[in-house]
Structure 1
Amino acid sequence: MAAPEHEDHRGPADDASHLVVIGGRSGVGKTSTALALHALLRADDVRHAVVEGDFLDLAWPPPWEHGLDLRNLAAVWANYRELGYRRLVYTNTVSVLAAEALAAAMGDSPAVTAVLLTGSDDVVDARLATRETGEELRAHRARSAAAARRLDAAAPAGTHRLATDGETPEQLAVRVRALAGW
């Protein structure tokens, strides 16, 4: 393996990896928070990778029953790992429920920090209205509300809950970084 072009000496003393999963209902700000965290870490020269989990199995018909997202994550992480990356930020609606499976897919026993972003119906509905219309908006709102109920009930112990109402993605990124210890 070639030496990485960029060394980050603020990482763990060993070769351990760290997975931060950011989950939450549609429209709560997962991707915006992950991108703000990326900008924050980049500005501080902290080596990391960001994976938007929805794109690991975005296909029609949906291949969810085949575990394609986990297989693709394993392949993507192997490539990052080979280049010296040890920190992964992963976003997906249900990522906090799947954190153990995601960590197993990484194959290197990462430490895991699970963050569930929450938001009120009014705020999330307004955010969704900026990107959806008509029947798609109605369906998306219903799926988002159902996901919020499921995540609230099923998020495992140890999951950090961060309310996004009235918070900017940059403020949330600072909080996620602190939770991860990065």
Structure 2
Amino acid sequence: MDQAEVLLIGGRAGVGKTTVGWEVSARLRDATVAHCVIEGDFMGQAHPAPDGDPRRRRITERNLTALWSNYTDLGYRRLIYTHTVSVLAENEGMFLRAMGANVRIVRVVLTASDATACERLTGRELGSELEQELEVSARKARVLDEQMPPDTVRVATDGRSVVDIAREVVSVSGWLASASR
């Protein structure tokens, strides 16, 4: 396989993107499907650079480009990328520039009710940012609902196991089927 492929896993804070991303990776490892994983939240952590600041976008893209170059030098062609708004069309250019114009992009947005997201964030955010995380999570859920491209697959997470959710996400990627050919 020469074509690069990226599985974008987006969704509001507290929906389980990182956990599902790692479970997707485990399922692919078990099937010996070569891939790499990047947690997008860490790609632009430079301060000060608030969300929307062009410096954050530039450093994120530069980091993605550098990491992807390292992975492709070692023969990797599939990437799992988790980040809240990675699925939005406004971010597509970054992946095309970093991974090549011929990259196949698969978009999945994980969804959860306000109650589920609140429960998960309350268990996770032990520091000073819980209230901010709850507010931003609700706002990003609205942005995703309004702006995600029509080819984005929604996967509900309420009341489901991580293994079950990951099974559905792997199915959407098509990577198990293409690996067995």
TM-score, structure 2 normalization: 0.88
> What does residue 34 of structure 2 align with?
47
Kindly provide the CA deviation profile for residues 72-96 of structure 1, in whole angstroms up to 9, marking residues without a partner as x: 1011001100100010000000100
Cα contact 1:56–1:73 (8 A) shared by 2: yes
> What does residue 178 of structure 2 align with?
none
Cα contact 1:20–1:180 (8 A) shared by 2: yes
Kindly provide the CA deviation profile for residues 34-56 of structure 1, in whole angstroms up to 9, marking residues without a partner as x: 00011111111110000001111
> What does residue 179 of structure 2 align with?
none
What is the deviation of 1:168? 1.6
Cα contact 1:16–1:108 (8 A) shared by 2: no
Structure 1 residue 114 and structure 2 residue 101: aligned? Answer: no
| Seq. identity, % | 44
Deviating more after overlay: 22-31 vs 57-66? 57-66
TM-score, structure 1 normalization: 0.88
Question: How many Å separate the matches in 2 of 1:133 and 1:72?
Answer: 28
Q: CA RMSD in A?
A: 1.5
Aligned positions of 1:1-182 closer than 5 A: 12=1, 15-62=2-49, 64-66=53-55, 67-97=58-88, 98-107=91-100, 109-133=102-126, 136-182=129-175
Question: How many Å separate the matches in 1 of 2:136 and 2:111?
Answer: 15
Cα contact 1:16–1:86 (8 A) shared by 2: yes
What is the deviation of 1:135? 5.0
What is the deviation of 1:129? 0.4
Kindly provide the CA deviation profile for residues 117-145 of structure 1, in whole angstroms up to 9, marking residues without a partner as x: 11000001000001214752111100000
Cα gap change, 1:81 to 1:173, in 2 (>3 Å): same
Alignment size in residue pairs: 169
Question: How many Å separate the matches in 2 of 1:127 and 1:178?
Answer: 25
Kindly provide the CA deviation profile for residues 8-27 of structure 1, in whole angstroms up to 9, marking residues without a partner as x: xxxx3xx1111100000001
In proportion to residue count, which structure has more helix? 2
Deviating more after overlay: 23-32 vs 160-169? 160-169
Helix, strand or coil for the counterpart of 1:99?
A: helix
Helix, strand or coil for the counterpart of 1:167?
A: coil
Question: How many Å separate the matches in 1 of 2:126 and 2:63?
Answer: 31
What is the deviation of 1:169? 1.7
Helix, strand or coil for the counterpart of 1:109?
A: coil
Deviating more after overlay: 95-104 vs 72-81? 95-104
Cα gap change, 1:79 to 1:135, in 2 (>3 Å): closer
Structure 1 segments of 4+ aligned residues over 6 angstroms from their partners: none
